[in-house]
Amino acid sequence: MPPEGSWASSAARRRNMQAIRSRDTKPEQLIRRLLHAQGLRYRVAAKPLPGLRRTADIVFRPAKVAVFIDGCYWHGCPEHYVPPKTNPGYWSGKVAGNIARDRDTDQRLKAAGWTVLRFWEHEPSTECAARIAAEVEKRRARTRGTGTT
């Protein structure tokens, strides 16, 4: 039984959950490597909007593109999310809160003129990188096109 007020079902589970990375995950690193190889430069784990206390995994500021690589468990992937058997009330509520925050983040960024790209950690990195590169190039071309008339 977890200690009173604890979010973990055991000390071992707590250590395990605390060890999970929130940035620089393997999928993020692979996608970043592919983007960098294409000559794209970006910010890592950056806040797209100054007043918003949320960070995107990859940010292209001038093009206003924010990229999120979401973990299947933490963000409730429809294909891979499995509700926890231990302490389900806490963890299911946590994941539901993450999903709600993700939607709110998307809305706020879009309202500020940003393009938001979200990928699941299980999606092929090459496809993610290709979609990101295409969107960044499209946004850059649009910006260049409006500046030269």
| Residue 110 reports pLDDT greater than 90 | yes
Residue 97 in this model has a pLDDT that exceeds 90: yes
Token readout for 26 is: 């393997």
Residue 8 lies in a domain: no
Which SS3 state, helix, strand or coil, does residue 68 take?
A: strand
Q: Is the confidence at residue 149, as pLDDT, over 50?
A: no
Residue 13 lies in a domain: no
φ/ψ of 125, rounded to 5, equals -60, -35
Q: What is the total count of domains within the chain? A: 1
The mean-pLDDT minimum among 80-89, 120-129, 134-143 falls in 80-89
Q: Is residue 9 included in any domain, yes or no?
A: no
Tell me if 6 is assigned to some domain. no
CA distance 66 to 126: 18
pLDDT: which is higher, 19 or 141:
141
pLDDT tens by residue, 62-94: 999 999 999 999 999 999 999 888 888 888 999
Could you tell me if residue 129 is inside a domain? yes
User: How does pLDDT run across 10-66, given as a tens digit for each residue?
Assistant: 677 566 656 665 688 999 999 999 999 999 999 999 999 999 999 999 999 999 999
CA distance 100 to 77: 13
Ramachandran quadrant class, 6 (left: phi over 0; alpha: psi -120 to 50; beta: rest): beta
Angle CA(27)–CA(106)–CA(94) in degrees, nearest 5? 70
Q: CATH no. for residue 97?
A: 3.40.960.10
3-state secondary structure 74-134: CCCCCCCCCCCCCCHHHHHHHHHHHHHHHHHHHHHHHHCCCEEEEEECCCCHHHHHHHHHH
